[in-house]
Protein backbone atom coordinates (compact mmCIF):
# COMPACT_ATOMS: atom_id res chain seq x y z
CA UNK A 1 0.00 0.00 0.00
CA UNK A 2 1.20 3.48 -0.75
CA UNK A 3 1.37 5.61 2.38
CA UNK A 4 -0.18 8.82 3.51
CA UNK A 5 2.59 10.90 2.02
CA UNK A 6 1.32 11.07 -1.55
CA UNK A 7 -2.26 11.49 -0.32
CA UNK A 8 -1.19 14.46 1.78
CA UNK A 9 0.88 15.80 -1.11
CA UNK A 10 -2.19 15.59 -3.34
CA UNK A 11 -4.26 17.54 -0.85
CA UNK A 12 -1.55 20.17 -0.52
CA UNK A 13 -1.30 20.43 -4.30
CA UNK A 14 -5.04 20.84 -4.59
CA UNK A 15 -5.11 23.55 -1.95
CA UNK A 16 -2.26 25.44 -3.58
CA UNK A 17 -3.91 25.28 -6.99
CA UNK A 18 -7.23 26.39 -5.57
CA UNK A 19 -5.71 29.39 -3.87
CA UNK A 20 -3.94 30.27 -7.09
CA UNK A 21 -7.24 30.37 -8.98
CA UNK A 22 -9.68 31.73 -6.40
CA UNK A 23 -11.76 34.82 -6.82
CA UNK A 24 -13.34 35.20 -3.41
CA UNK A 25 -15.81 37.77 -4.70
CA UNK A 26 -17.18 35.54 -7.46
CA UNK A 27 -20.29 33.38 -7.40
CA UNK A 28 -19.81 29.83 -6.04
CA UNK A 29 -18.59 27.54 -8.83
CA UNK A 30 -20.93 25.03 -10.43
CA UNK A 31 -18.18 22.42 -10.51
CA UNK A 32 -18.15 19.61 -7.94
CA UNK A 33 -14.35 19.32 -7.96
CA UNK A 34 -11.91 22.18 -7.25
CA UNK A 35 -12.10 25.01 -9.77
CA UNK A 36 -8.53 26.21 -10.41
CA UNK A 37 -9.31 28.45 -13.37
CA UNK A 38 -6.66 31.16 -13.53
CA UNK A 39 -4.07 29.19 -11.55
CA UNK A 40 -0.57 30.59 -11.87
CA UNK A 41 0.97 27.23 -12.74
CA UNK A 42 1.71 26.54 -16.41
CA UNK A 43 1.49 22.79 -17.06
CA UNK A 44 3.38 21.41 -20.04
CA UNK A 45 5.15 18.27 -21.22
CA UNK A 46 7.18 16.85 -24.07
CA UNK A 47 6.82 13.10 -23.81
CA UNK A 48 6.19 10.00 -25.93
CA UNK A 49 2.90 8.11 -25.91
CA UNK A 50 2.58 4.34 -25.75
CA UNK A 51 2.49 4.13 -29.55
CA UNK A 52 5.87 5.87 -29.77
CA UNK A 53 4.41 9.20 -30.94
CA UNK A 54 5.93 12.42 -29.48
CA UNK A 55 3.27 14.38 -27.61
CA UNK A 56 2.71 17.80 -26.08
CA UNK A 57 -0.37 19.19 -24.37
CA UNK A 58 -1.11 21.28 -27.46
CA UNK A 59 -1.75 18.11 -29.49
CA UNK A 60 -5.08 17.70 -27.72
CA UNK A 61 -6.59 21.16 -28.23
CA UNK A 62 -10.28 20.90 -28.97
CA UNK A 63 -10.85 18.22 -26.34
CA UNK A 64 -11.30 18.15 -22.60
CA UNK A 65 -8.01 16.66 -21.38
CA UNK A 66 -7.80 14.64 -18.17
CA UNK A 67 -4.26 14.14 -16.82
CA UNK A 68 -3.18 11.79 -14.05
CA UNK A 69 0.38 11.02 -12.90
CA UNK A 70 1.07 7.49 -11.66
CA UNK A 71 2.95 4.26 -12.42
CA UNK A 72 2.04 0.80 -13.62
CA UNK A 73 3.31 -1.02 -10.51
CA UNK A 74 1.00 1.06 -8.32
CA UNK A 75 -1.08 -1.35 -6.19
CA UNK A 76 -4.09 0.81 -5.39
CA UNK A 77 -4.48 4.51 -6.16
CA UNK A 78 -3.48 4.41 -9.84
CA UNK A 79 -5.74 1.54 -10.95
CA UNK A 80 -8.57 2.92 -8.81
CA UNK A 81 -8.24 6.37 -10.37
CA UNK A 82 -8.03 5.07 -13.93
CA UNK A 83 -11.08 2.89 -13.29
CA UNK A 84 -13.03 5.89 -11.96
CA UNK A 85 -12.07 7.96 -15.00
CA UNK A 86 -13.19 5.17 -17.32
CA UNK A 87 -16.49 4.94 -15.45
CA UNK A 88 -16.90 8.70 -15.77
CA UNK A 89 -16.57 8.45 -19.55
CA UNK A 90 -19.19 5.69 -19.61
CA UNK A 91 -21.60 8.10 -17.92
CA UNK A 92 -21.27 10.49 -20.85
CA UNK A 93 -23.13 10.18 -24.15
CA UNK A 94 -20.79 8.70 -26.80
CA UNK A 95 -20.56 11.99 -28.70
CA UNK A 96 -19.36 13.73 -25.53
CA UNK A 97 -16.96 10.97 -24.48
CA UNK A 98 -15.27 11.27 -27.89
CA UNK A 99 -14.39 14.86 -27.01
CA UNK A 100 -12.35 13.78 -23.97
CA UNK A 101 -8.71 12.63 -23.96
CA UNK A 102 -7.28 10.90 -20.90
CA UNK A 103 -3.51 10.97 -20.38
CA UNK A 104 -1.65 8.80 -17.87
CA UNK A 105 1.84 10.23 -17.28
CA UNK A 106 4.22 7.81 -15.59
CA UNK A 107 6.41 8.88 -12.68
CA UNK A 108 8.43 5.68 -13.15
CA UNK A 109 10.09 5.96 -16.57
CA UNK A 110 12.72 3.43 -15.51
CA UNK A 111 10.15 0.64 -15.73
CA UNK A 112 7.27 2.21 -17.65
CA UNK A 113 8.44 2.02 -21.24
CA UNK A 114 6.00 2.67 -24.12
CA UNK A 115 5.65 -1.11 -24.48
CA UNK A 116 4.68 -1.52 -20.81
CA UNK A 117 2.25 1.39 -20.96
CA UNK A 118 0.70 -0.04 -24.13
CA UNK A 119 -0.27 -3.14 -22.18
CA UNK A 120 -1.41 -1.33 -19.04
CA UNK A 121 -3.18 1.91 -19.92
CA UNK A 122 -5.61 0.85 -22.70
CA UNK A 123 -6.77 -2.01 -20.47
CA UNK A 124 -8.79 0.58 -18.56
CA UNK A 125 -10.16 2.24 -21.72
CA UNK A 126 -9.00 1.89 -25.33
CA UNK A 127 -8.87 5.65 -25.79
CA UNK A 128 -6.53 6.32 -22.87
CA UNK A 129 -2.92 7.24 -23.70
CA UNK A 130 0.11 6.46 -21.55
CA UNK A 131 3.00 8.93 -21.67
CA UNK A 132 6.63 8.46 -20.72
CA UNK A 133 10.07 9.84 -21.51
CA UNK A 134 13.53 9.99 -20.04
CA UNK A 135 13.92 10.88 -16.36
CA UNK A 136 14.55 14.54 -17.13
CA UNK A 137 11.47 14.92 -19.34
CA UNK A 138 9.22 13.26 -16.76
CA UNK A 139 10.67 15.42 -13.97
CA UNK A 140 10.09 18.56 -16.03
CA UNK A 141 6.48 17.60 -16.70
CA UNK A 142 5.86 16.86 -13.03
CA UNK A 143 7.39 20.17 -11.95
CA UNK A 144 5.17 22.08 -14.35
CA UNK A 145 2.09 20.43 -12.80
CA UNK A 146 3.46 20.83 -9.24
CA UNK A 147 3.33 17.05 -8.90
CA UNK A 148 5.38 15.35 -6.20
CA UNK A 149 6.93 11.91 -6.66
CA UNK A 150 9.68 10.00 -4.93
CA UNK A 151 11.12 6.50 -5.15
CA UNK A 152 10.71 4.34 -2.05
CA UNK A 153 12.92 1.24 -1.62
CA UNK A 154 11.08 -2.07 -1.39
CA UNK A 155 11.67 -5.10 0.82
CA UNK A 156 13.48 -7.10 -1.86
CA UNK A 157 16.83 -5.94 -3.24
CA UNK A 158 16.31 -3.80 -6.31
CA UNK A 159 12.57 -3.45 -5.77
CA UNK A 160 10.90 -0.12 -5.17
CA UNK A 161 7.63 1.74 -5.18
CA UNK A 162 6.78 5.37 -5.92
CA UNK A 163 5.12 7.88 -3.63
CA UNK A 164 3.30 10.48 -5.71
CA UNK A 165 0.59 13.11 -5.75
CA UNK A 166 -2.80 11.56 -6.30
CA UNK A 167 -4.92 14.27 -7.90
CA UNK A 168 -6.26 14.53 -11.45
CA UNK A 169 -6.02 17.64 -13.64
CA UNK A 170 -8.68 18.64 -16.17
CA UNK A 171 -8.16 21.07 -19.07
CA UNK A 172 -10.85 22.64 -21.21
CA UNK A 173 -10.78 22.37 -25.04
CA UNK A 174 -8.89 25.67 -25.22
CA UNK A 175 -6.01 24.08 -23.33
CA UNK A 176 -6.63 25.96 -20.06
CA UNK A 177 -6.23 24.20 -16.72
CA UNK A 178 -9.68 24.36 -15.11
CA UNK A 179 -10.11 21.65 -12.47
CA UNK A 180 -8.26 19.67 -9.82
CA UNK A 181 -10.03 16.44 -8.84
CA UNK A 182 -8.91 14.98 -5.52
CA UNK A 183 -8.31 11.25 -5.18
CA UNK A 184 -11.47 9.31 -4.43
CA UNK A 185 -14.00 11.96 -5.44
CA UNK A 186 -15.59 9.40 -7.73
CA UNK A 187 -16.76 8.96 -11.31
CA UNK A 188 -19.94 10.99 -10.87
CA UNK A 189 -18.04 14.13 -9.87
CA UNK A 190 -15.70 13.86 -12.84
CA UNK A 191 -18.49 13.10 -15.32
CA UNK A 192 -20.54 16.05 -14.04
CA UNK A 193 -17.63 18.47 -14.36
CA UNK A 194 -16.53 17.24 -17.79
CA UNK A 195 -20.07 17.78 -19.07
CA UNK A 196 -20.02 21.34 -17.75
CA UNK A 197 -16.73 22.04 -19.55
CA UNK A 198 -18.04 20.57 -22.78
CA UNK A 199 -21.24 22.61 -22.48
CA UNK A 200 -19.27 25.81 -21.90
CA UNK A 201 -17.34 25.29 -25.11
CA UNK A 202 -20.17 23.95 -27.24
Query: Which helix (H) or strand (E) covers residue 172, if one does?
Result: none
In angstroms, how far is the first alpha carbon of the chain from the final one?
Answer: 42
How far is residue 36's CA from residue 54's CA, in Å, rounded to a whole number? 28
164 is known to lie in a ligand binding site: yes
73 is known to lie in a ligand binding site: no
Q: Tell me the sheet residues that pair with 55.
A: 47
In the 8-state DSSP scheme, what is residue 177? E
Task: Say if residues 127 and 101 touch (Cβ distance below 8 Å).
Answer: yes
Task: Say if residues 36 and 177 touch (Cβ distance below 8 Å).
Answer: yes
183 is known to lie in a ligand binding site: no
Annotation: binding site: 74, 78, 164
Annotation: binding site for Cu cation: 74, 78, 164
Amino acid sequence: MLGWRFRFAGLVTGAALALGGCDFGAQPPAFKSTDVTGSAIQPAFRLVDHTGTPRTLEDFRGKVVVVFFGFTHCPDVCPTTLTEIALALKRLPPEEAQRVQVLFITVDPERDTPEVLAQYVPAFHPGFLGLTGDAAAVAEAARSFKVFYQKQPGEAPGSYSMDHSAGTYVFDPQGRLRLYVGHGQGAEVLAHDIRLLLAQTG
